[in-house]
Structure formats: C-alpha cells, structure tokens
Amino acid sequence: MAFHQELEALTQAFSGHGVDEKSLVTLLGKWDPLERESFRKKTPHLFTEDHERHFQRWDDDYVRLLKHEFVRFKNAVVLWSMHPWERDARLVREALKKGQNAYGVLVEVACTRSSEQLLGARKAYHSLFDHSIEEDVASHIHAIERKLLIALLSAYRYEGSKVKDDTAKSEAKVLSNAIKNAHKKPINEDDEVIRILSTRSKLHLQAVYKHYKEISGKNLDEDLDDLRFKETVQCLCIPQIYFSKVLNAALRIDVDKNTKKSLTRVIVTRAEIDMKEIQAQYHNLYGVSLPQKVEEVARGNYKDFLLNLIVRGG
C-alpha cells in the first residue's frame, strides 16, 4: 500500500464511531519518525502546528473525543454482559446523573420493558444503589415532568390480550380534548392523561392510538408538543419507530457523545427482543439497511460487535 493510501486509511481509522484498532496497530506500529511527522502535518483536524516552536501537537478536544471512541467497544461488551435488570438500573442511574437531556432514557426503560422486566430493574436498583428508582427520580428531578416519570417507572401494566374497545375510544377522546385545551391546562399537569399513559396496557394504548387518529386525523405523538409525553406515546405505541429514530440520530457523524451512546444502548438492549422489527422500520424510514449504516459509520471491534448483535437479533 502506498503511503498516501496508508495515510488515508489511518485518518479513516480515527473517524466515525469507535476506532479501527487493526489499522492503528498495522500502520502506526510500522511508520518511522518521518512518516509519523507527515501524518501529523497532513491531518490538521487532529493536530495543530506550533509555528513558534516548530512541532505539531494533538488537538486537545480531539484527544478527549478519542478517549470516548476507544472505550466505546469496552462499554458495549460490558453492557451486553450484564444481567438485563442491572443494565436497566444502571442506565436509569446514569440518565439521572446526566440531567434533563438524558431523561428520555427513563421513558425508554419504563415504557419498552415488560412489567416483569421493569420490576426487575427496580429490584436491581435497590441492590446497587440502596435507594428506589422512584425515590431518586423524585429527589433528582424537580421539573414538572417528575410526576409523569415517577408514574411510568412505578407501573406494573396488565399484559393480557383483552382490550375494551369502547374504553379505548373514550380515552382517545379524553386525550384529544386535553391536547386541544393544553393552552388552559398543560398536558404535563393533567392527572387524567398521566393516569391513562401510566396504567393502561400497551395493547390498550395502541387501540387508543388508533382511535385518536380516527378522531383527529393525526397520530397522537404528532399532536404532542411536550417531549416526554411524545417519547412516552412512541415507546408505548410505536416502539420500533421510536428506536429507529434514536438509532438514526446516533449514527450521524456530527452528533454529541451522549447521542452517540444511544447506538450502543439500543442495539444491546433490543438485540434479543425486537431487532428484526426495528431493522424493518429503519429500512422503511431511511431507505438503507441498519447493518449497512453501521458498517458505514462505525469502526473496528466496536463495529464488528454491533453487527454481530444486529445479525443475532435479525
């Protein structure tokens, strides 16, 4: 391989999600000092030139970014190896520490797990942190969304097949009226809306979702302005579409590190649940297969691990 090709390959190894460890070992390990200097000079997005002292130095921001990229594979392996209860408990704990921008993870755990899985996560949280999830949500979150999140995380939903269609239709009307009157009483202060979303079975809520569209002509999540309520409805009623959107956001190159972490979280937690359905929805929404997109964006061992999990679930 000519040096300019090696240079391009190494630059590529440092870009994307994760790093291409094989290229780093193969190329950096054999380059002499002049070749390494040439690499530094030809990658100004990685190195800055100190013209006064005549040397090239790593860009500090990029070094911080690389630290996250190098541990991405390790984090995925650790998360995959955990008992699902512990995994969800730690995801909740991390989201609470990160603050409001991460509270969507709380909705995701509360609304896309079965009743037994959510109960298990709550048990694991007791074991790991000597508090209840509800207790920590109440103490960490002081915004109006606290009421919804505590209700969702405390839920133990009916999971049978019976749905009372008349009740679903009636509650679709309740939601429609609540949204129309949100200027008088915000959705996040409406106890009846919170009751419906936090206690009804998923099959019941999917029937509500269907009736809502018949009443209003739009999907329920499209009419909701409040982000947490929108995420709640999507996770309960159209989870594969929700996960496809989260994955697509995480697979962009120009996103922050927290958004990128969603790629690991979603693939690891859904690999043995509904990855086949998520792949179908992803392809339907974005016109490209999920494995193809991961192949394009991710690097090295991290990429290979994610692809194995996708194939396992699909």
Q: What is the pLDDT of residues 1-39, one digit of tens each?
A: 788 888 888 888 888 788 889 888 888 888 989 999 998
Burial group, residue 76, by CB count within 10 angstroms (0-12, 13-18, 19+):
buried
Would the pLDDT of 66 be above 90? Answer: no
Residue 67 lies in a domain: no
Residue 236: exposure state from Cβ atoms within 10 A (0-12, 13-18, ≥19): buried
Residue 298's beta-bridge partner residues? Answer: 17
Which CA distances in Å does 282 have to 231, 240, 275, 287, 299? 17, 8, 10, 8, 20
Examine the fold and report which residue of 11, 32, 62 is the final residue of a domain before the chain moves on.
62
CATH number for position 149: 1.10.220.10
pLDDT of residue 298: 95
Does residue 190 sit in the same domain as residue 230? Answer: yes
Q: Is residue 294 part of a domain?
A: yes
What is the rounded distance in angstroms from the CA atom of residue 229 to the CA atom of residue 179?
11
Among residues 262, 310, 245, 273, which one has the least CA distance to residue 105? Answer: 262
Q: Is the pLDDT of residue 69 over 70?
A: yes
Same domain (yes/no): 102, 146: yes
Give the list of residues 6+ apart from residue 108 with CB closer than 8 angstroms, or none: 231, 235, 242
Tell me the CA distances in angstroms from 46 to 12, 21, 41, 63, 255, one per residue in order: 12, 17, 9, 8, 18
Assess whether 100 and 141 both reside in one domain. Answer: yes
Do 249 and 230 share a domain, yes or no?
Answer: no
Residues in the chain: 314
133 and 184: one domain?
A: no
CA-to-CA distance for 304 and 73, rounded, in angstroms? Answer: 9
Do 120 and 143 reside in the same domain of the chain? yes
pLDDT digits (tens, 9 = 90+) for 177-194: 999 999 999 999 999 999
CATH code for the domain in which residue 32 is found: 1.10.220
**Mean of per-residue pLDDT scores for the chain:** 94
Distance CA 270, CA 117 (A): 13
Question: Which of 106, 126, 156 delimits the end of a domain?
Answer: 156
35 and 93 part of one domain: no
Residue 135 lies in a domain: yes
Q: What is the pLDDT of residue 3?
A: 84
Residue that is last in its domain, among 108, 131, 156:
156
179 and 216 co-located in one domain:
yes
pLDDT tens digits along 193-233: 999 999 999 999 999 999 999 999 999 999 999 999 999 99
281 inside domain: yes
Q: Based on the fold, state whether residues 99 and 116 are members of the same structural domain.
A: yes
Q: How many domains does the chain have?
A: 4
End-to-end CA, the chain: 36
Do 176 and 120 share a structural domain? no
Q: Is 70 part of any domain?
A: no
Tell me, yes or no, whether 58 and 112 share the same domain: no
Q: Helices (DSSP H) in the chain: which residue ranges? A: 3-13, 21-23, 33-41, 60-81, 84-98, 104-112, 115-129, 133-140, 146-153, 165-180, 191-199, 202-216, 220-223, 227-237, 239-250, 257-270, 275-286, 290-297, 300-313
163-186: buried (b, 16+ CB within 10 Å) or exposed (e) per residue?
A: beeeebbebbebbbebbeebeeee
Tell me: do 201 and 150 sit in the same domain: no
**pLDDT for res 45:** 86
Specify the pTM: 0.91
- Assigned domain for 74 exists: no
301 within some domain = yes
What is the span of the domain harbouring residue 28? 3-62
Q: Does residue 293 sit within a domain?
A: yes
* pLDDT, position 23: 87
